[in-house]
Amino acid sequence: MYKVAPVCAIVLIVGLLLCALEAQAARNFPQDARRGTITEHQYPLYRINKSNLRIAPGGRIYDQHNRIIMPASFYGAAEIMYKLDLNGDLSIIWILTREEALRYKKPVTIQPLESGTGR
């Protein structure tokens, strides 16, 4: 006779672990989070989408695995989501994974047509 119960228990445990890993992978960003690209920085200033923004006191940077990076030790360029505080300073920066960068595309600014072109 086969012992089915231990095999079923193992399959159930493995399935639950896989579901838990998938649940940790998804990050939900606040509605007021903005999409951008950090192109350069010199602590405490970060150049995001052609604007120089200062990181707020106590500002946090989360990497792709949702771990906190100290703002002074961040380096390189990155695709990000970010949130500003009431003073217009960076309060939170999330460095996006490749999948998140594709999911949260940058907003496109449409340039108005020049008037006086005769068309």
* Confidence class for position 105, pLDDT limits 50, 70, 90: confident
Residue 1 has pLDDT above 80, yes or no: no
Torsion of the alpha carbons at 13, 19, 22 and 23, rounded to the nearest 10:
-120
Residue 69 tokens read as 């990076």
Q: What is the mean pLDDT of residues 98-115?
A: 73
Residues paired with residue 82 on neighbouring β-strands, in sequence order: 34, 93
* 54, part of any domain: yes
Reported confidence tier of residue 3, pLDDT bands at 50, 70, 90: low
**CATH number, residue 84:** 2.40.50
Residue 67 lies in domain: 34-103
Q: How many angstroms separate the Cα of 99 from the Cα of each of 12, 40, 65, 96?
A: 28, 22, 13, 8
Q: 73 lies in a domain?
A: yes
Whose tokens are 């030790």? That residue is 73
